Amino acid sequence: MDQVSVAVVGAGIAGLTCARELARAEARVTVFERSRGLGGRLGTRRQGNFAFDHGAQFVTARSRPFVKYVEIAGRAGVVLPWRPRILEDDRAWDAPIEEWHVGAPGMSALVRPLARGLDVMMGVGVNELLQGQRGWEVQTDSGRAPRTFDAVAVAVPAPQALALLGPHGRTFRHIADVRMAPCWAAMVTFDAPVDVGAEVRRWTTGALSWAACDSSKPGRPVGPQAWTLHASVPWSREHLEADSQEVARLLLHEFGRSTGTPLPAPSHLAAHRWRHAYAEQALGLPCLVDEEIAAGACGDWCIAPRVEAAYESGRTLAHSLLSTVGLASPALLR
């Protein structure tokens, strides 16, 4: 049999996990990623010597496959446990319920091992998927990809997944049921130390939902104190189209107000808008697959807004596509 070829759209943890599982089963996999960095919302934003985790802040691991992955990444030194002091509203968490893990030196380190050895086309956005006579054709923003694919896996936020797969049948129209919420993230550094009583502050009401001292995470370079602030969903929605410098200023002000702490002038201040940050209403399935046309979608938005859900969704889609195209699942090939 000729080598089965699969196009994976998106190099977040869902797409890379899916791609890796397919590649382990001897499929020929090409990953297309619009941005110039791996990891999607597990991204890391460099700023001088420091890197902010401006998207996902930590991961938890519940099911053995992801536990094992975190353990292996831990042995490679790219994942470390993080045990911050936490204040939620004004209540201290004595002990976190689950162990929190972070990538080192940044969250994106968590996905990099998944990409090893994969054919990843960075900075190549996919605009359209076409069912041609010899398989799937991929229309990118730099032209038609030179080869066709036996199967496609789409691992991007729900609205983009709908745009790519919606035209290919009833199955994918259900992606429209998924509701994603935005999140404005501000990134701040202070040269003088700031004490707000804990490394993590969370709020259930108000403009901010999360503030974490990123520089308190293990494996970070020594330097200024760096904070990532996440706005609440209502606030992010209300300010969705606002100017990012203005948003950064507002969130920094809110941080001082909510913590009751006078803040020194920041040495760096910026904001990033995650237009599709969380699945507020998930699909309610592990992944979405149409076996007849060998196409599927995966992502945290299928299951729940958790990094591990993205990983498991990508893994499940890979196994579904493998049986569709007639390949053995990876465990059989070890």
**Which C-beta is closer to its own copies: that of 38 or that of 156?**
156
**Site stretch for its own copies (CB under 8 A), options 34-42, 129-137, 166-174, 268-276:** 166-174
* Closest to its own copies by CB, 152 or 213: 152
By CB under 8 A, which span of 129-137, 188-196, 209-217, 325-333 interacts with its own copies?
A: 325-333
Count interface residues toward its own copies (CB under 8 A): 42
For Cα atoms 183, 41, 161, give the angle at the middle one, nearest 5 degrees.
90
Cα 46 from chain centroid (whole Å): 17
Nearest approach, Cβ of residue 88 and its own copies (Å): 16
Q: Which of 28, 35, 65, 223 binds its own copies (CB under 8 A)?
A: 65
Residue whose CB is less far from its own copies, 76 or 328:
328
Q: How many whole angstroms separate alpha carbon 308 and alpha carbon 252?
A: 30
Contact 168, 38 (CB under 8 A): no
102 touching its own copies, by CB under 8 A? no
- H and E: helices and strands count for the chain: 9, 20
108 scored as a contact of its own copies (CB under 8 A): no
- Window contacting its own copies (CB under 8 A); options: 65-73, 117-125, 194-202, 207-215: 65-73
- Which region, left, alpha or beta, applies to residue 129 given φ > 0 means left and ψ of -120 to 50 means alpha? beta
Q: What distances in angstroms separate CA 331 from CA 21, 22, 25, 277, 282, one per listed residue?
A: 9, 11, 8, 33, 29
> Which helix or strand (DSSP H or E) is residue 136 part of?
strand 135-140
Residue 244 exposed, middle or buried by CB count within 10 Å (0-12, 13-18, 19+): middle
Taking the least distance from each CB to its own copies, the nearer of 240 and 333 is 333
> Which of residues 23, 38, 251, 287 is near its own copies by CB under 8 A?
287
Binding site for its own copies (CB under 8 A): 62-65, 67-68, 97-98, 170-171, 174, 177, 282-292, 303-304, 306, 308-309, 312-313, 316, 319-320, 322-324, 326, 328-332
